[in-house]
Each structure stands twice: as structure tokens, then as C-alpha cells.
Amino acid sequence: MNAAAPDHVRIFDTTLRDGEQSPGCSMSPQQKVVMARALAELGVDIIETGFPASSQSDREAAALIARELRETTLCVLSRCLPGDIEASARVLQAAAKPRLHVFLSTSPLHREHKLRMSREQVLEATARNVAHARSLVDDVEFSTEDGTRTEKDFLAEVISAAIAHGATTINVPDTLGYTTPSEMRALFQRLIAEVPGAKDVVFSAHCHNDLGMAVANSLAAIEGGARQVECTINGIGERAGNCAMEELVMALKVRGAYFDADTRIDTRRLVPTSQLLSRLVGMPVQRNKAVVGANAFAHESGIHQHGMLRHRGTYEIMNPEDVGWPASQMVLGRHSGRAAVAHRMQALGYVLEDDALDRVFAEFKALCEQQRVVEDDDLKRLMQGDAGDDGYRLASMTVSDRGQRAVAQVELSDPRSGHVIESALGDGPVDALFAALSAATGVELKLESYQVHSVGIGNDARGEANLSVRHEDGEYQGTGTSKDIIEASALAWLDIANRVLRTRQPQRISASA
């Protein structure tokens, strides 16, 4: 007899609504359409496309998406107000699978200070507005805002009233990211067991990440019986964000036997979708973020690399290809060991005897004191015996702001040709600096991300600049440190440019047989 299939957990994506409310993450209607297409291709069950009563932009985006996407349920958010509900219903008229999502605060704090309503008034407003929404749209979701901080008996009353008046999905949000997994599991178990009509609706969790538990709380809600989770790509959203879809989906995938639940998400599209959102809103994903961060499948430690070379399962619980990465990365840096260096050299065509490997490994360690990451072209340079050629060095620079345009002049020293001086204009000091460096070196780099921060405190404080760029088909990272943050930026740029230039140098020795 075949085992029962895992329960289907519906993925309700609110990247275009709650996610967009994250400061700095606003999207134009056209950008929202692009993102909605990607979410549909990802396999999202429900896409919350906006809050029509909040702005003309939201109304336009929701209407555009409703006309284009025909297979995915499309949802819009509305307050429990007749005008909001009717505006939302109008936006959904073109949708093939519309859902109207109404919400009302239920916690004592919100009732007193935000709504200025009594329990009885909240109950009456819930019944009246859910019924109004249901008269306009068949699929109605009701949310108890700040539900996890609501009295247990009153929360059950409100949910019962919503179900009785036509709600088909009940969402109990942890609006402030306050609760814990054990509390969340127990809450859903109790509501589903005790509320009249609970077995006839889908219960949903919407968890915020203020205490870093959004994903854990969402998984606990699933254990408690929730069969819809509201989440966002990259976990963006109000304050510390929402439950990160990619983390929730892969937790259910990797630990399927434990949760006995799964989604319909095409996990191979998680990384491309994450990167699309990052480009649209200009918010980079932190490198160490689970699943979609650049370091999620990268290994630098010698112990970890040695284990990975023996068996991937020693240090990875997911295949990178399953979430959209091309492969695991064996990053060579100061923590790497001989085994990883020897493996990379062999992949480059160099089979080294022990004494030769000893020499290369010693030079590799010395190079790691100058740069954080050693690339393939650096290893080739070690084999060529010209490790002393450090490429371009910054001799001097001047940067000034002249009204709307900045100007930068750089002087670089090159061991092979003396000095080169170039200047350039830019939209700001850093833009002008990078343009001057490009003119001086002949290297064109497309900036993907630029971050600066302080290292150390007091008199020992220094500025560190971190760049991520694209050159032709490759992606490079560079780091520079200096007392002056503009100089640190120049050093980071040159760190990358010198590596690019080394790849252009012809191989001067043949690979060993």
C-alpha cells in the first residue's frame, strides 16, 4: 500500500504588498508585473499584489497583474471598511482567480490605542465586513491583525464570526514577531480543534522576524495544522521582515519526513527569483543568508573543504543545483588547506609532486595575507613564477565635487611601465574615481554592489570598502582598507582590476602531464 502524499502547504507570497512596505523597497507597477510573472513561474499558489486603497500605484499594479496572470490566485488587501472593500473588488474584476483579503486588529493594545473600539464593536465590524466582501468576491481571507497578542477566548470569537459570515481562509498573524514556536504550534492546534467551522476553512500563518523566529514560527504553525504560509522572497517586509519563502520551502523539502508537508514551488527557481527581486529593489542579499546567499554553498575552511572533497554530504544538506545555484564553491582563502589547493591546481591542469605542492602552498598562504580570496588566475600566476608582479598600485589620487559633477584624478604605478595618470568626471566622488581607474587600467567593471563600513574603534578605526562587480561573464569581489574610505574604495577596485588583468596574460608554462 502506498504511503499518503504529504500535505500541501499553500504558499501565499506577499512580496508585492508587505514586502514592498520594507523601507527602500518600493516598486513601480511595471516592476511589480515583472516580479509577479517570476512568482507565478516559481509556483506560488497565491500572490498578494497590493493594497489598492493605499495608493494609485498599488491600484494600477494590481489591475495590470490581474489582466495578465490567469493561472495563479491573485489577492489584494483591504481594511474592514466598505470603501476599501469595494475599491479592492473593482481592481479584482479582471482576475481569473480573485481573492479579497480583509483584516482587523484584535489585540487589546490595538483595540484601545489604534481602533478605539470595544470587543463588541470589533466582533460586529468583522461580521459585517466579511459578509460585504463575500458578497463581492467568493474567495475571502480574514486576518486578525496582532492575533498572537490577542486574548485566547476573544480570538476564537472573532475567527468564529468571520467563518460564519463567509471567510474561506483564516490568517492569524504574528504581526510583531513576538511569539515563539511552541506557542504558535499550540495556538493553531487549539483554534482548529475548538472554533466552530474551523475544519471547513484553511488556516494561515503570517510571521514577522523581529526576534529572528519568522521561519521557525511558520514551521510551528504548519505542525499545528496551518496549511497556508504568508511569506516573501528574501524575507523582505516591515521592520525586520517576514518569513523568508526560500527558507521555509527548503525546510519542508529537506525535512519532508519530519513535517510530512510540502509545497508546489519549483525550488530550482528560488535563486533566480531572489536575484531578480534584489535587482528590482536595489537591496542586496547578505552573503551568509540561508539558501540564496552567495556563501550558502561556499566553503573556505580547510576542514570543510577536505570533507567536501571526500563526500558532499559531510557539509551540505542540500544540492546547490536544486535551489538554482550552478554548483558548490570551494573558496580559496587564508583558512583553506593543502587538499583544496591541490584539488584546484589539478582542475587547472597542474599535477604537483609533494615538494612542488609545498612551494605553491607556501606562496598561496603568503598571498592570502594580501587578499581575502585567491582566484584561479592567482594560482596560475604562482605556477608561472611571477608572484612578485602585484599589478597596478595606487600612487596618489585627488577627488573633488564640482556642483553637479565630481572629478577624480588618479596616479597609478605599474612595475612594467612606470606611472600612468588619468582623470574623469562622474555623478559623485566614487563614480568619478571608478571612471578614472577604468581609464588608467583599461578595465571596464560593472558595479553590482558597493558597501562601506568601519573596522576597529577609536584611533585604530579604518574604513573598509567591499565591491561586487561583473566583468564580461564573470563576477568578482574586491576589498580595500584605509583610513580614508575613498582610498579604500580605490584599493578595492584595483584589487579586482589586477585579477582581471592577470587572466589576460598568456600562460608561460605548459600544464604537467
Query: Could you tell me which residues are annotated as the binding site?
Result: 18, 206, 208, 242
Q: What residue numbers does the annotated binding site for Mn(2+) cover?
A: 18, 206, 208, 242
DSSP secondary structure letter of residue 387: T
Task: Report residue 226 as a C-alpha cell.
Answer: 496551518
247 and 225 Cβ atoms separated by less than 8 Å: no
Residue showing cell 602552498: 361
The helix/strand/coil state of 178 is: coil
287 and 294 Cβ atoms separated by less than 8 Å: yes
350 and 334 Cβ atoms separated by less than 8 Å: no
Distance CA 428, CA 382 (A): 38
Could you give the strand order of the β-sheet that contains 393-402, starting from the edge strand earlier in sequence? Answer: 393-402, 405-414, 418-426
Task: Report residue 39 as a C-alpha cell.
Answer: 512568482
Distance CA 484, CA 492 (A): 12
- Please measure the distance between the N-terminal and C-terminal CA atoms of the chain and give it in whole angstroms: 56
332 and 347 Cβ atoms separated by less than 8 Å: no
The helix/strand/coil state of 411 is: strand
Concatenate the DSSP letters of all residues of 203-263 into one string. Answer: EEEEEB-TTS-HHHHHHHHHHTT--EEEEBGGG--STT-B-BHHHHHHHHHHTHHHH-EE-
